[in-house]
Structure 1
Amino acid sequence: MAKASKKKALGRGLSALLKDPENDIQSANDKNADKVVGNIVELDLESIEVNPHQPRTSFNEDALTELASSIKELGVIQPITVRKLGFNQFQLVSGERRYRASKMVGLPSIPAYIRIANDQESLEMALVENIQRQDLDPIEIALSYQRLIEEVDLTQEEMSDRIGKNRSTIANYLRLLKLDPIIQTGMRDGFLSMGHGRALIALSETDEQLEVYERIIKDKLSVRETERLVKSLTTQQKPTTSPKLDEAKQKAVKEISNYFGAKVDVKLNKKGNGKLIIPFSSEEDFKRIKKLINESKDA
């Protein structure tokens, strides 16, 4: 108990150091930075703002209330992590549930690790720490992976090293984002698992995905049952024969190909509508074709 009290007193002492304008630490090279960065500091809750990069978008109220009760009895056992914004101003990197629960029970302060980082580093820390430590649903994890790729500019290989997950695992999560938003919402709300979602990806048509999704909910299908249903649907699909051009259109396409000096390709849909594709081999070839199109318009 004496050891815990000593640590808490140290945290409060460092907190007082941060509130001293003469010790406004902004970088790891500043005076007294070594006393703060990486240490547990008791911070006023009012000096901390929520991290806009937090990947978790919803919090279970019952679980939050339970955590608040635990904190009221035992205090905050695991410190939150924050980054310094300015004088006595901090932003959450991870630990928003502990932050929210502490506010619920009216605590004036909370133990925190302080990091000095730019926005990109803060985002990476928030995403990586939450993926590793928080009970995120599969879509939230997938969105976190996507943000690491797009906003932090990590490759899947680099991400694999950062979070200790196989690249194939990361790829499987990212594929879930190809599902219809309705299905993604169902997964976030716990109506179906990641295994269900992976089975649905095998269906290329969104309408089919939604139909099977409704079956999963209605009949409470297991992952195995869903996989069998999807397999039966995919084996039933027969390749359709594309409509063919009649003789007059074939002749017209040949004339167009001769005019542009390139083999023009034709793509038709089931209804017989389609498009002409004119290939080009270089920038000069593209300009040549463009000139021919303009000349035909002016003619």
Structure 2
Amino acid sequence: MAKAIKKQALGRGLSALLKDPNNDIQSVSDKNADKVVGNIVELDLESIAVNPFQPRSNFNDEALQELASSIKELGVIQPITVRKLDFNSYQLVSGERRFRASKLIGLETIPAYIRIANDQESLEMALVENIQRQDLDPIEIALSYQRLIDEIQLTQEKMSERVGKKRSTITNYLRLLRLDPIIQTGIRDGFVSMGHGRALVNIEKQKDQIALYEKIVGENLSVRDTEKAVKEYQERILNGDAGENIPSAKKKPSLQPEFIKENLGSFSNYLSTKVDIKASEKGKGKITIAFNSKEEFSRLKKLITGE
């Protein structure tokens, strides 16, 4: 407890130092810069501007509220990172979810690491740190990699070193940007997975990508089913077919054991929703219960658990 109090006092002391016009730190060579850079400082939230280079564009409201509740109870455990712009003026480098959540619950200050960097360094730091630490969707990660290539001129080899990922992994993400924007949106919204996208990117014509994408969503094709459909499509192209009719992967009909057939209706009727049951003749299997909203989930939970 004593260590925590001492750490907080130190943060407040450094904060006061930064608000002193006679100690305006603009570079690492300035007086007292070594006391601030790399240390945790309590900064006023109002003095921090959102980083325009932030690669994340989607923030889940429910997840943000959960984080806000956690911060209200436990405080900000992991400090954000900012760069100094001017006197008592900062720009967010990483930690925007923590920043937003702290504002939601009305906090006035937030613990932060301060860095002094130019715009290009700030962009690189924001992209690299967010790729490493944030739960970005595959398209956001791909866009971040592309920006590192376009705006920082990082080669894939250098990028591999900076983000700690294999070059092949980076290449797989970048290839997703060759997909039609509708499919990219589908990946971001969770209608299809990155695995589906990696298969679809092997189809050159975007109209054919869309045609197969619609089949994936409509027929709930697995990644393996999609890979088979893409392979069939490529074989049709090689054989001179225009490829206008996208083949769908044929699924083997599932043979339900008799005890499942006899009881499936009872489950669906009792729960008033679609229930899918798969089982082997030996009796091993799984039950999938569909729901379309939070309210319906609560209703099903009450039916099943009695709570």
SS in 2 for 1:43: strand
**1:100 aligns to 2:100 (yes or no):** yes
Name the CA distance, whole Å, in 2 between partners of 1:117 and 1:123.
10
Structure 1 residues 102-126: Cα deviation after superposition (integer angstroms, max 9, x where no partner): 0000000000000000000000000
Name the CA distance, whole Å, in 2 between partners of 1:189 and 1:8.
40
SS in 2 for 1:237: helix
More divergent stretch after superposition (110-119 vs 227-236): 227-236
- Residues 283-294 of structure 1 correspond to what in structure 2 (within 5 A)? none
Name the CA distance, whole Å, in 1 between partners of 2:35 and 2:23.
11
Cα distance, 1:239 vs. partner? 5.1
Name the CA distance, whole Å, in 2 between partners of 1:5 and 1:213.
56
Name the CA distance, whole Å, in 1 between partners of 2:77 and 2:169.
31
Residue 283 of structure 1 is matched in structure 2 by: none
Residue 133 of structure 1 is matched in structure 2 by: 133
Q: Which amino acid aligns with 1:217?
A: V
Residue 196 of structure 1 is matched in structure 2 by: 196
Normalising by structure 1, we get a TM-score of 0.79
Residue 210 of structure 2 is matched in structure 1 by: 210
Cα distance, 1:218 vs. partner? 1.0
SS in 2 for 1:151: helix
Name the CA distance, whole Å, in 2 between partners of 1:65 and 1:2.
31
Name the CA distance, whole Å, in 1 between partners of 2:155 and 2:104.
39
Residue 81 of structure 1 is matched in structure 2 by: 81
Residue 185 of structure 2 is matched in structure 1 by: 185
Cα distance, 1:220 vs. partner? 1.2
Cα distance, 1:146 vs. partner? 0.3
SS in 1 for 2:126: helix
Structure 1 residues 142-201: Cα deviation after superposition (integer angstroms, max 9, x where no partner): 000000000011111110111111111111111110000000010011111111001001
- Residues 13-162 of structure 1 correspond to what in structure 2 (within 5 A)? 13-162=13-162
Name the CA distance, whole Å, in 2 between partners of 1:167 and 1:76.
34
SS in 2 for 1:111: strand
Name the CA distance, whole Å, in 2 between partners of 1:203 and 1:135.
28
Percent identical among aligned pairs is 75
Provide the aligned C-alpha RMSD in A.
1.1
Residue 6 of structure 2 is matched in structure 1 by: 6
Q: Which amino acid aligns with 1:235?
A: E
Name the CA distance, whole Å, in 2 between partners of 1:176 and 1:239.
27
Name the CA distance, whole Å, in 2 between partners of 1:123 and 1:74.
30
Q: Which amino acid aligns with 1:50?
A: V
Q: Find the structure with the greater CA-based Rg.
A: 1
* Structure 2, unaligned runs of 5 or more: 242-307
* Structure 1, unaligned runs of 5 or more: 242-299
Q: Which amino acid aligns with 2:26?
A: Q
Name the CA distance, whole Å, in 2 between partners of 1:3 and 1:167.
42
Normalising by structure 2, we get a TM-score of 0.77
Cα distance, 1:6 vs. partner? 1.1
Name the CA distance, whole Å, in 2 between partners of 1:150 and 1:233.
33
Cα distance, 1:7 vs. partner? 0.6
Residue 169 of structure 2 is matched in structure 1 by: 169
Structure 1 residues 253-297: Cα deviation after superposition (integer angstroms, max 9, x where no partner): xxxxxxxxxxxxxxxxxxxxxxxxxxxxxxxxxxxxxxxxxxxxx
Name the CA distance, whole Å, in 1 between partners of 2:143 and 2:80.
22
Cα distance, 1:46 vs. partner? 0.1
